[in-house]
């Protein structure tokens, strides 16, 4: 949402939320949505017996809107991972904002369309049987549009556990894949994330894995 559209209500709706706070849990009823002004929120959901990372919500983005748009239970769990300043918007306020500010409706439609695309990518990712293929495809998605870091590669701020949940692997399984990619110098693991030194090499390897998958199915 545009900052200008929120200035008039920011003081009334703003709330400081410390890291570690669970805003809502998957399956709960909800009557509020949130806009991140500062800090960061993680969304996760359970698939089978695993908790999967869905997304990090950075400043300027919103989440939790479907609970007030269609009155459905929360589809994910939201946890504040960095001290945050959030705008907390109930259904009545949300409707008034949409009616008063067309730009808010337009930005929301664009954001929802992007989320549908991300969901489709996640489904395609989880359909891949080979662990190497799944991880490399995920890394390619995560590097798309990112600028090279000072270390000379693209920085991915994600822990091993978060990446493991995203690709539906255990941390031990992911560690094996990361080790192979590190040996091939396609990935560098750091304590607080990963570096892809050359995205081009990652893309080439992904194309090889996709070709291998096509031959396997033939």
The verdict on 100 and 157 lying in the same domain is no
The verdict on 170 and 203 lying in the same domain is yes
Evaluate whether 156 touches 193 at the Cβ level (below 8 Å): yes
The verdict on 115 and 193 lying in the same domain is no
pTM: 0.58
The verdict on 180 and 206 lying in the same domain is yes
CATH code for position 38: 2.60.120.10
The verdict on 206 and 137 lying in the same domain is yes
Q: Could you tell me the residue range of the domain that residue 36 belongs to?
A: 3-126
The verdict on 175 and 157 lying in the same domain is yes
Residue ending a domain, choose from 81, 99, 126:
126
What tens digit of pLDDT does each residue of 46-82 get?
877 777 777 788 888 889 888 887 778 898 899 999 9
CATH code for position 170: 1.10.10.10
Would you place residue 2 in the very low, low, confident or very high pLDDT band (cuts 50, 70, 90)?
Answer: very low
Nearest-5° angle of CA 82, CA 86, CA 87? 170
Axis-axis angle for helices 199-217, 131-143 (nearest 10):
140
Q: How many domains does the chain have?
A: 2
Which helix (H) or strand (E) segment holds residue 72: the answer is none
The verdict on 136 and 111 lying in the same domain is no
Q: Give the whole-angstrom CA distance, residue 149 versus residue 121.
A: 25
Write b or e for each residue in 103-128: b if 16 or more Cβ atoms lie within 10 A of its Cβ, otherwise e: ebeebbeeeeeeeeeeeeebeebeeb
Helix (H, G, I), strand (E, B) or coil at 26: coil
Residue ending a domain, choose from 126, 159, 187:
126
CB contact set of 67 (below 8 Å; sequence gap of 6+): 24, 29, 30, 31, 32, 33, 73, 74
- What is the mean pLDDT of the segment spanning 188-207? 88
The verdict on 89 and 117 lying in the same domain is yes
Residue 23: predicted pLDDT: 95
Q: What percent of the chain has pLDDT over 70?
A: 85
Would you place residue 38 in the very low, low, confident or very high pLDDT band (cuts 50, 70, 90)?
Answer: very high
Q: Give the whole-angstrom CA distance, residue 134 versus residue 27.
A: 28
The verdict on 39 and 66 lying in the same domain is yes
The verdict on 103 and 175 lying in the same domain is no
Torsion angle (degrees, nearest 10) of CA 43, 45, 51, 54: -50
150 or 169, higher pLDDT: 169
Residue ending a domain, choose from 126, 153, 186:
126
């Amino acid at each position: 949402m545009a900052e200008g559209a929120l200035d008039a209500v920011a003081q009334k709706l703003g709330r400081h939320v410390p890291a570690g706070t669970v805003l809502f849990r998957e399956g709960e009823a909800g009557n509020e949505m949130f806009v991140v002004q500062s800090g960061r929120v993680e969304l996760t959901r359970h698939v089978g017996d695993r908790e999967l990372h869905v997304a990090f919500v950075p400043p300027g983005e919103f989440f939790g809107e479907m609970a007030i748009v269609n009155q459905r239970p929360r589809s994910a769990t939201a946890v504040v991972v960095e001290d945050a300043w959030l705008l907390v918007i109930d259904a009545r306020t949300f409707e008034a904002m949409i009616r008063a500010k067309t730009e808010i409706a337009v930005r929301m439609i664009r954001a929802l369309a992007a989320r549908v695309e991300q969901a489709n990518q996640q489904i395609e990712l989880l359909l891949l049987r080979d662990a190497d293929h799944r991880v490399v495809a995920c890394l390619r998605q995560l590097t798309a549009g990112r600028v090279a870091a000072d270390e000379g590669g693209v920085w991915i701020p994600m822990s091993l556990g978060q990446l493991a949940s995203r690709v539906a692997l255990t941390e031990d399984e992911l560690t094996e894949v990361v080790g192979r990619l590190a040996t091939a110098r396609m990935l560098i693991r750091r304590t607080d994330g990963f570096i892809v030194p050359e995205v081009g090499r990652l893309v080439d390897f992904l194309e090889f894995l996709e070709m291998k998958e096509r031959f396997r199915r033939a």
